[in-house]
């Protein structure tokens, strides 16, 4: 087997489509705006720190070494910065699928503009990507095209817009704008396996509905679009290259929540969580995916744990003057 096919076949074996899982996926996408969009940075008006661990297709036994279940760990932080007129954000994640591992870091800036009852963020990000492809057992002993312990790292970029109000949020972003290629030399030969890091677009939205004085219902949606080919290609946007998710959650007294979600042609997800500590600053969430559809090359369960902390909203630097009629003449 030629080395140029290894990366594609590896991803294909795990996900059923080679392009579907170049980027990690998270069931807690409704709490993970900083990962989805650089324009989210600081848009909430308070700092946030979020970490997520995901074990996907738990127990999947692949024909290649070191298992086949994707494991992902992510840490993100978002902070409003008044002097910059917006906010900054950072994201770091490690994603491992069998021998293949990706370490990604992102630095984002978002400019905030008052629009109606909410704020519009316009964001840009710099991306650093390090990919290690591990070791493989060639079908033909000594095949010089099969990479061994190769790695490559590149810089890339992303951009996005995000609107946030008390009731509505919506965001659209694109990453890997440079559509960088990665090469992995073999031990025996300077010829290399190679992959192309596709650019992806994300659209997400949610709407808060006050069902009662203590219950808020939030429908959410996420569309992930893989964009192969050069700009202008007829096949750039195709239904099979996209992922579609929708769900709804109910939040009780701004402290407990539970919900259900559906990922098209793959899974049904249950979510539950709670907020605790002063001002409900900490949030702990659990998600369970049942792989109900398209079960080939997948195990039937995925698990995810989220822990986040919301910093207090910044107070005013000086107290406002108190004016009374007594001193107005």
CA separation for the pair 3, 146 (Å, rounded): 4
Full set of structural domains in the chain with CATH:
23-197+274-311 (2.40.160)
- Measured in degrees and rounded to the nearest 5, phi and psi for residue 201 equal -115, 145
Integer-rounded Cα radius of gyration of the chain: 22
Query: d(Cα 195, Cα 245) in Å, to the nearest integer?
Result: 27
- Specify the pTM: 0.84
What is the C-alpha separation between 130 and 114, in angstroms, rounded? Answer: 37
Q: Tens-digit pLDDT profile for the chain (329 aa)?
A: 333 333 333 433 333 333 345 789 899 999 999 999 999 999 999 999 999 999 988 877 666 555 677 899 999 999 999 999 999 999 999 998 877 889 999 999 999 999 999 999 999 999 999 988 776 667 777 666 666 677 889 999 999 999 999 999 999 999 999 888 888 765 555 556 677 788 889 999 999 999 999 999 999 999 998 876 665 555 656 667 788 999 999 999 999 999 999 999 888 999 999 999 999 999 999 999 998 887 666 677 899 999 999 999 876 444 555 555 554 44
Alpha carbon dihedral 42, 48, 49, 55, in 10-degree steps, equals -90
């Amino acid at each position: 087997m030629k080395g140029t096919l290894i990366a594609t076949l590896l991803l294909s074996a795990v996900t059923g489509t080679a392009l579907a899982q170049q980027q990690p996926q998270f069931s807690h996408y409704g709490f993970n705006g900083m990962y989805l969009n650089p324009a989210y940075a600081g848009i909430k008006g308070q700092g946030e720190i979020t970490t997520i661990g995901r074990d996907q297709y738990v127990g999947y036994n692949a024909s290649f070494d070191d298992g086949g279940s994707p494991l992902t760990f992510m840490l993100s932080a978002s902070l409003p910065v008044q002097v910059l007129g917006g906010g900054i954000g950072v994201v770091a994640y490690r994603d491992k699928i069998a021998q293949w591992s990706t370490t990604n870091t992102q630095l984002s800036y978002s400019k905030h503009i008052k629009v109606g009852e909410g704020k519009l963020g316009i964001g840009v990000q710099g991306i650093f990507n390090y990919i290690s492809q591990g070791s493989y057992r060639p079908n033909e002993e000594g095949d010089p095209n099969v990479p061994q312990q190769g790695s490559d790292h590149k810089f890339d970029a992303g951009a996005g817009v995000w609107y946030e109000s008390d009731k509505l949020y919506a965001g659209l972003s694109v990453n890997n704008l440079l559509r960088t290629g990665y090469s992995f030399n073999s031990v025996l030969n300077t010829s290399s396996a190679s992959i192309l890091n596709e650019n992806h677009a994300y659209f997400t939205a949610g709407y808060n509905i006050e069902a009662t004085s203590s219950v808020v219902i939030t429908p959410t949606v996420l569309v992930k679009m893989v964009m192969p080919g050069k700009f202008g290609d007829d096949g750039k946007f195709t239904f099979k290259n996209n992922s579609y998710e929708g769900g709804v959650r109910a939040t009780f007294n701004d402290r407990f929540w539970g919900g259900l979600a559906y990922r098209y042609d793959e899974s049904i997800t249950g979510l539950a969580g709670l907020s605790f500590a002063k001002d409900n600053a900490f949030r702990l969430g659990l998600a369970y995916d049942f792989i109900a559809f398209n079960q080939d090359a997948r195990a039937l369960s995925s698990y995810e744990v989220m822990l986040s902390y919301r910093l207090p909203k910044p107070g005013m630097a000086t107290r406002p003057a108190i004016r009374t009629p007594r001193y107005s003449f």
